[in-house]
Amino acid sequence: MDGTSTPAEGHTHPTPALYLRIAVVLFVLTALEVGAYEVARRESPAGLAAIVVPLIVPILLVLSAGKFALVAMFYMHLKQDSKIFSGLFVFPLLLAAVIIVALVALFSVVHLVP
Amino acid sequence: MSHADAHAMHPPTATGLDTRKLAIWTFIGSECLFFASLISTYLVYKGKSLVGPLPHDASQCMLDGRMQQCEGVFEIPLVTFGTAVLLFSSYFVVKALSGAQRGNRKQLIGWLSATVVGGLFFVGMQVYEFYHFFHKGLGYTTNVFSASFYTLTGFHGTHVTLGVIWLSTVLVLAIRGKLPPEKALNLELAALYWHFVDVVWIVIFPVVYLMK
Amino acid sequence: MATSAREHAHAPAPSKTGLWSWLTTVDHKRIGILYGASAFIFFLIGGLEALLIRWQLRIPENNFLSAEAYNQLFTMHGTTMVFLAVMPLSAMLFNYLIPLMIGARDVAFPRLNAFSYWVFILGGLFMNASFLFNAAPDAGWFGYANLTSKQYSPGMNVDFWVIGLQILGVASLAAAVNFFVTIINLRAPGMKLMRMPMFVWMSMITQVLLLLAFPVITVALVFLLTDRMFGTGFYIPAQGGDPILWQHLFWIFGHPEVYILILPPFGIVSEILPVFSRKPLFGYAAMVFSGAFIAFLGFGVWSHHMFSTGLGPIADSVFSLTTMLIAIPTGVKIFNWIGTLWGGSLQMKTPLYYALGFIALFVIGGLSGVMHASPPADLQQTDTYFVVAHFHYVLFGGAIFAMVGGAFYWWPKMFGYMLREGLGKVQFWIMFIAMNLTFFPMHYAGLHGMPRRTYTYVAGLGLDWLNLVETIGSLGLAVAFTLFMVNIFVSFRGRKANPAPADPWNGATLEWSIPSPPQEFNFPEIPTVEGRDPLWTAKRKHGGPLPEPKRVDGSNIHLPNPSYWPLVTAIGMSIMLIGFMAGGLPVNLIGVAILFFGAFRWAFEPTG
């Protein structure tokens, strides 16, 4: 066995406090997501809602991406682990994102049902 | 499916990385495309349903044998609760792994049990949600929303279930004292899979439930 | 299921011969031979299907086959050749050669490797069992919706296809994880990535394509399965679905799939050409990067299969452009192969014949392929025999020629005796001429408007003699492969007189440094690699051919135990999926139970 995958010594490991902080941040970001959703679905948008409504999709995507990155980097140890693992995850992830965007675009532009 | 003692049979690896860990990451990379296809389909069929019920908006739907006005089916508070539990279970398994690596058996067993309970709770939430939706008139074949929604979240739920089974197996080993620090990798692999299932939900939750 | 090994009293006794040893083998070389033998049989079945198709089309308005039988035959011909012949022939070479070429004792997960094979063979047998029910798949290898819907295909035909492909997909994904990890992690000391043999490079890129493309077809097939079994409407317009979604998902998988078919043959040719030109591969780095670039672009071109669906000018332009771009790295490869030959001292042995045939025929197929990249041209060519001509030039002229060349090249290593050179060259010429007779006239038939997948045609359209020539050509191909089997038989009979040395071709790669066939542990000592073409370096240092390596006693070398759990797990998985078609939920659950039982016993089995 090799040193890179058994960081039992814990020298490069984030502290337990950091893990807990991340859990809290994840929770807060989730709350923000739901909050944005609740604000955006109000009947007559005014004030904050008027700003949130047109931006709801980007807001949700950014919050979700933030949560995703936190889990991947810290809980899945990609930040301190080998770059090979990051590559194995990030490349398919980008491809997946491109395919989702491409399919949505292809269907919304061309197959628009009148 | 990995090898119980892959590392013991081979000389030090070419990259210095553990072979099983490399395999689980490769598998996770492949799974990204699996869920991308399911999510794409859900998005492509957004707004294409011919009858209700719909996720958020009221619509005409067949319920109790007659067409009637139906509410949107989503129950955001319920799913938010399930989401939070799944997120925290990711934190629990991090704690369990750190216990396993330090040889702290109490920490390992405690947090790993909590992870399993969290996973079971999420699956239970999903079963309840499906049951609930079904009684609101949303069968599997009702419309393209229901078909793509149930397939996407159902496959995610299957992944969670498999994760629970895997983690439970590791938990049994831990309780029997067969997960010493030098074998913590056995938990780390399950944990990586578990976190992946979690990040998939991090995408599904806003994209499916919160975007109108 | 990763857990520590529990001590078992009854570790299976390692037996070296007999049926049981083959059912429980985890040796990559034996699994490779299993893959090769199975794939060759499927190849013969697929070839027979092609001959029946050609016999039907030899004259206009022929009644040899009914339209239904014809549909089943062309569907099974395509499905068999893609999934049961060319892919597993590649898998044979991955299995046999990757560990030998990178200097490893086995693949990363030997039992997973056995599992892949068992799943593959069960899927192949299941798919072909459809003939017994007179219900072979009949909606084309591409299975376009809504031909495949319950409404238009009420029989079991499409069920066999969906479930068969789903089973085969599991085999491919499991194998892809295994080989990818093997190549990354099990390279011998000094075998840096940029020192790997080109076949290993192309194999690695193929695994990446498999890993990223197969999940997409898995999902597409799940939708088709639920449409047919449970009544969802993913591809059914009356329920709000869209048949075009199938085409998108299928081709997001399908285009990378064609590179999955052709990249390993690229690798084979890149091994054969340098050895028989007596000089290193020209432009090694360019070969690596062009291969990677082809694979990368392969994910961005899928809609060129769908120009006729009316994607609109923007999508048409984008996909046309990306498709044309692929011609660049492919051209780079062809120039590099020619550059390898240029100025080399050519040894005109049988493998080189096939490699040269590959280059010539692949160029023709590549040129007709790039024509489809232009939407206006494609709209004329799509669904005609022009397209059939194109992909048979790349898949038969390309992949099959390279595979046969590879068979002649590695046969001595795998079985310890040489194939007859003379017979091999006669086979080459018959195959080369017959291949062109069969497929070249299809260009003309296609441009004259002859549609694909139609069981007959009327006389007097100028298609009669073209089709007759094609049928004569296809009989020639049958003769060529009969000759190949004769060659195997004759060479086997005379194997004592014609044993293969360790290094019959003056090879450059590590597999030629060990006896033919290799011993179970491959390398008595793991080699250390100091550059590309390690064996040539060793011979140069030695000042001539190396002494014949001796067979050594390897009883002290630790090898994984044989195991039957992969087979049990594979059976469980297949039953689970077949339950969707026959027996329903109870059968699904029995399959799941066997699957879990097998997987747990596997995970807790001592690995030796």
Q: Which residues of chain B are within 8 Å of residue A104 when distances are taken between CB atoms?
A: 40, 43-44
As a whole number, mean pLDDT of residues C337-358 equals 96
Write down the pLDDT at residue B11: 54
Q: How confident is the model at residue A45 (pLDDT cuts 50, 70, 90)?
A: low
Nearest to B17 among C185, C191, C219 (CB): C185
Helices C464-493 and C401-415, packing angle to 10 deg: 10
Residue A41 lies in a domain: yes
Inspect the interface and report whether the beta carbons of B43 and A41 lie closer than 8 Å. no
Per the structure, the complete domain to which residue A106 belongs is given by 82-114
Distance CA B137, CA B160 (A): 26
Percent of chain B beyond pLDDT 70?
A: 95
Burial code (b: 16+ CB inside 10 Å, e: under 16) for C190-205 equals ebeeebbbbbbbbbbb
Write down the pLDDT at residue C404: 97
Inspect the interface and report whether the beta carbons of A2 and B16 lie closer than 8 Å. yes
Write the pLDDT tens digit of every residue in B145-157: 999 999 999 999 9
Percent of chain C beyond pLDDT 70?
A: 97
Distance CA B184, CA B178 (A): 10
Q: Residue C536: which of C107, C96, C183, C195 has the closest Cα?
A: C195
Same domain, A89 and A72: no
Interface residue C595 vs chain B (CB under 8 A): no
Write down the pLDDT at residue C246: 96
Q: Which residues of chain B are within 8 Å of residue A67 when distances are taken between CB atoms?
A: 87, 199, 202
Same domain, A64 and A101: no
Residues in C 113-142 with any Cβ partner in B closer than 8 A? 115
Interface residue C145 vs chain B (CB under 8 A): no
Chain A residue whose CA is closest to B100: A8
Write down the pLDDT at residue C432: 98
Residue C14 lies in a domain: no
Structural domain count, chain A: 2
Q: Which residues of chain A are within 8 Å of residue C252 when distances are taken between CB atoms?
A: 99
Same domain, C608 and C543: no
Write the pLDDT tens digit of every residue in C583-599: 889 999 999 999 999 99
Q: Which residues of chain A are within 8 Å of residue C211 when distances are taken between CB atoms?
A: 92
Same domain, A74 and A50: yes
Same domain, C532 and C605: no
Q: How confident is the model at residue A40 (pLDDT cuts 50, 70, 90)?
A: confident
Distance of residue C55 Cα from the nearest chain A Cα, in angstroms? 42
Nearest to C212 among B27, B30, B50 (CB): B30
Chain A residue whose CA is closest to B79: A34
Write down the pLDDT at residue C6: 38
Q: Which residues of chain A are within 8 Å of residue C311 when distances are taken between CB atoms?
A: 106, 110
Same domain, C497 and C575: no
Same domain, A20 and A46: yes
Write down the pLDDT at residue A12: 54
Distance of residue C411 Cα from the nearest chain B Cα, in angstroms? 28
- Report long-range pairs for A48-53 (Cβ below 8 Å, ≥24 apart): none
Q: Which residue has the higher pLDDT, C5 or A23?
A: A23
Inspect the interface and report whether the beta carbons of C242 and A111 lie closer than 8 Å. yes
As a whole number, mean pLDDT of residues C4-18 equals 49
Inspect the interface and report whether the beta carbons of B91 and A19 lie closer than 8 Å. yes
Q: Which residues of chain A are within 8 Å of residue B199 when distances are taken between CB atoms?
A: 67-68, 71-72
Same domain, C538 and C577: no
Average pLDDT for chain A: 82
As a whole number, mean pLDDT of residues A25-32 equals 94
Write down the pLDDT at residue C184: 96
Same domain, C519 and C598: no
Report how far Cα B136 is from the mean position of its chain's Cα atoms. Answer: 24
Interface residue B98 vs chain C (CB under 8 A): no
Residue A17 lies in a domain: yes
Start-to-end CA distance of chain B, whole Å, equals 39
Write down the pLDDT at residue A113: 45
Same domain, A30 and A61: yes
Write down the pLDDT at residue A49: 72
Write the pLDDT tens digit of every residue in B192-207: 999 999 999 999 999 9
Please say if the pLDDT value at position A114 is more than 60.
no
Q: Which residues of chain B are within 8 Å of residue A76 when distances are taken between CB atoms?
A: 192, 195-196
**Cβ contacts of residue C511 below 8 Å, gap of 6+?**
C97, C100, C101, C410, C413, C518
Write down the pLDDT at residue A13: 63
Residues in A 23-82 with any Cβ partner in C closer than 8 A? none
Same domain, A67 and A92: no
Q: Which residue has the higher pLDDT, C379 or B10?
A: C379
Please say if the pLDDT value at position C3 is more than 50.
no
Interface residue B176 vs chain C (CB under 8 A): no
DSSP structure string for C315-383:
HHHHHHHHHHHHHHHHHHHHHHHHHHHTT------HHHHHHHHHHHHHHHHHHHHHHHTSHHHHHHHTT
Write the pLDDT tens digit of every residue in C215-248: 999 999 999 999 999 999 999 999 999 999 999 9
Same domain, A29 and A65: yes
Interface residue C144 vs chain A (CB under 8 A): no
Same domain, C327 and C213: yes
Same domain, C134 and C242: yes
Please say if the pLDDT value at position C170 is more than 90.
yes
Same domain, C36 and C126: yes
Same domain, C107 and C58: yes
Burial code (b: 16+ CB inside 10 Å, e: under 16) for C53-74 equals bbebbbbeeeeebeeebbbbbb
Distance CA C430, CA C484 (A): 11
Nearest to A110 among C184, C245, C312 (CB): C312
Please say if the pLDDT value at position A29 is more than 90.
yes
Q: How confident is the model at residue C554 (pLDDT cuts 50, 70, 90)?
A: confident
In the three-class reduction of DSSP (H, G, I as helix; E, B as strand; rest coil), residue C451 is classed as strand
Per the structure, the complete domain to which residue C313 belongs is given by 27-547
Interface residue C462 vs chain A (CB under 8 A): no
Q: Which residues of chain B are within 8 Å of residue C110 when distances are taken between CB atoms?
A: 3
Write down the pLDDT at residue B63: 84
Residue A28 lies in a domain: yes
Domains of chain B plus CATH, in order, are 33-210 (1.20.120.80)
Nearest to C299 among A95, A109, A110 (CB): A95
Same domain, A35 and A88: no
Same domain, C343 and C374: yes
Tell me which of B5, B7, B26, B153 to substitute to probe the interface with C (most C C-beta atoms closer than 10 Å): B26
Write the pLDDT tens digit of every residue in B65-105: 888 898 899 999 999 999 999 999 999 999 999 999 999 99
| CATH code for the domain of C258 | 1.20.210.10
Inspect the interface and report whether the beta carbons of A89 and B28 lie closer than 8 Å. yes
Distance of residue B208 Cα from the nearest chain A Cα, in angstroms? 11
Write down the pLDDT at residue C608: 56
Same domain, C380 and C515: yes
Structural domain count, chain C: 2
Write the pLDDT tens digit of every residue in C125-149: 999 999 999 999 999 999 999 899 9
Chain B residue whose CA is closest to C222: B151
Please say if the pLDDT value at position C7 is more than 50.
no
Please say if the pLDDT value at position A7 is more than 50.
no
Write down the pLDDT at residue C311: 87
Which class for C316: exposed (0-12), middle (13-18), buried (19 or more C-beta within 10 A)? buried
Q: Which residues of chain C are within 8 Å of residue B178 when distances are taken between CB atoms?
A: 3-4
Residue C136 lies in a domain: yes
Write the pLDDT tens digit of every residue in C293-321: 999 999 999 999 999 998 888 899 999 99
Interface residue B4 vs chain C (CB under 8 A): yes
Q: Two tokens at C434? A: 């017959």
As a whole number, mean pLDDT of residues C564-579 equals 94
Inspect the interface and report whether the beta carbons of B84 and A85 lie closer than 8 Å. no
Interface residue A111 vs chain C (CB under 8 A): yes
Q: How confident is the model at residue C19 (pLDDT cuts 50, 70, 90)?
A: confident
Neighbours of C394 (CB within 10 A): 22
Q: How confident is the model at residue B5 (pLDDT cuts 50, 70, 90)?
A: very low
Average pLDDT for chain B: 91
